[in-house]
Structure 1
Amino acid sequence: MITERWPTSRLFLSASADVSDFWELCGRQALDGTTTAVRFSPATLRGTTAHIEVADAEALEQFLRPARRGFLVGVFEQNEPQLFVVDAGNARRVRSSHERSSLHLPAAHLLDDLTYGLLWSLVQFDDGLLADDWALDQEQPTLNTYLSLLRSAPSRMTLPDLTNIGANFLGSAFCAQHILRRLDGLSDPPVFWTREQTGEQAAAWLWFRHKSDYLAALSALYTGAADPLSRAFCIPEAEVARSDRYERILLLLAITLMEIHGIRVDVLADPEFSEVDGFALVWGKLAAVANWVRTEAIWAVDTVTQRSVLRGYQDALGEAQRHSVMQGGDPESRLRSLAGYLEIPWSWLVTRCREVGECGAASIVRPRSRHLSVDALDDVFQFLGGLAPGR
């Protein structure tokens, strides 16, 4: 069922009860892919609680004990089987507080496009950052040197040992610092253009701790400004068609996070604007260019003041504002229209966000890397879960 529903999953089932089954999660372009242990057990569903049966307590203890990542999946057999998922660390905690014959989970742990997108993205981010933790720490002095430059674009070959995740993390963190430094002392609120086009690329906004800090810093910097902050995306229909629904959900959740921080988002479908730089534009003054998505360098940043270039960025933003697929005078209206464009059922999404928000994302899967956090996701679930489901 898992491999049939989600093509980025592969299951490898062991022939021995003493050896764990394994679940491979495959990235598409930005994510590297990784493998986690998995154990399937029968489950029953009573009301809002899934009860995972523990037929062999010793075997379950052996599965939960290792330090490696693992998932326990309860299988509720009916006309269409339902799966309920929890990572091994949480299962250890839950099991210690209940009777030994079963393990109780909120029904919100249902494995569907929402929860699959969470664990698919988090586990890959987590493993990549843990693999690169030492190298990333060693690069901090180098980053400070680069920040003093108005323009830089270090090649991936300068850090060949980094995973894609590690390089993306480094590029994302540097671009955020570059923009904040270039905006320092400018009172006019900037307008942003963002290069993410898929959920795989945009999921970094949901998990990377520095992303939430960056959005909070921008909100605090321009509190009380006459014009609200705004941000544009170019997400062509072809990219929407190529993405599975779980990935489109990640994209919508990331855009929701920005709306929560008071940033009005516009989404342009015209593919002619796909290669526009990521930038923060202060009208008539400068553009802090910052690319880390869909670029061959770890990051490519610049500080632009030429009027012709600024005019080009301004024209792209005007096009996004005039032809945005996100229509409406409030975040709910805009997000509802975005859900329609991304072909995500609004009522289902709001209901599931409410359910997951009640138990918290970390009750399903939690980060191990110090660079990741569930706080932004919980804010998103609380916000979307509080909206009217409608139709």
Structure 2
Amino acid sequence: MRAWSAPVVPQLPGSGTAPCLWDTPSAGLIEASAERTARLYVCGITPYDATHLGHASSYLAYDTLQRVWLDAGYEVHYAQNVTDVDDPLLERANATGVDWVELAASQVELFRSDMERLSILPPEDYVAVTEVIGPIADAVALLIERGVAYTVDTPDSAAGDDVYFDVRAAADDVWHLGAESGLDEATMAAFFAARGGDPDRAGKRDAFDPLLWRAARDGEPSWESPVGQGRPGWHIECSVIALQHLGSDFTVQGGGSDLVFPHHDLSAGHAAALSGRPLAKVFSHAGMVAYEGTKMSKSLGNLVLVSRLAADGADPSAIRLAILANHYRSDWEWHDEHLVLADRRLGTWRSAFATDAAGGASAVELLQAMRVRLADDLDTPGAIALVDAAAITGVDDADLARSAVDALLGVR
């Protein structure tokens, strides 16, 4: 499917270095490097209420990663999914009386416009789940054939039985339950139950076994497939899309920290069972954004929407700055004052870097210092502090300073 238009990223003199990112499984920094092409997968939206600042913060983190890679001389292959058929979307469509296809299409279009507004680099492969039903069903059939998936009696479906992944049978030297999350089973159990799992489903071999294929029910969308009429489960979609477009062992799997378990752990398990290889080298996670004391989420409705901020006149570069002032891995809370401060900072920068300043700071040294900060786990607050300091004295090459801020921070 169509993504969105790419912003122009200025070319900078010299080059940066491959960044080190915090890797969730190893709980340490790993150099996110590649021979030539850095490959990135970031989990996309379920399109029923896009785009709040929690989304924007996560996608902005991996936009920053792409910019650092490009500055280091890498080519970037970026893939992202759209979960355009899933229970939350169908529930919202039923509650609002809107056709689920129309709801998904409208929200994906809003997401595109928000990403374009925020100058976020688009994926090369932007893939809707409904575009890959066949490959997903084929993957489920292969997992059954390999003995790591099984059917569970499903009396409320006339089309056949649900299919589940056997987490214990799939465990091997490449993957086991908890391998990517690093969590103990008690914590995993709590997250599994709270984040779409069905631990008490009768007929499952293990409480952690996730749904691979949901057999057709009355009133739900479904597709004919080798494993019966139905639709995909959540985790398998990302496994198949990532393997199809990036292959195994790709550079970075990214997403919000609420995806650590079960989504990323089990997606990695499905992919390992299909390919025999690890899904990614680095599993990177962005922090959560709260509002009014609680994590911003669609289910709670405590959302600050990018489109609403823009409609109220917010400068998109100020929105970026307000988000980038927080380290991508930190959990933080949005306050309206964040945008006020970011707008003030943006005005200061634009004034300071309008012309060359005689005796000002070295723009080349500013660029090099920004590169060092961003290579250290995408330290955007540190990079912003450097620009703040340069704005006090001005710089000897305002064009270079503006280009550095645009290329590396996406702020004009």
Q: Same fold (TM over 0.5)?
A: no
State the TM-score, normalized to the length of structure 2.
Answer: 0.23
State the TM-score, normalized to the length of structure 1.
Answer: 0.24
The structure with higher relative contact order (CA 8 Å, sep 6+) is: 2
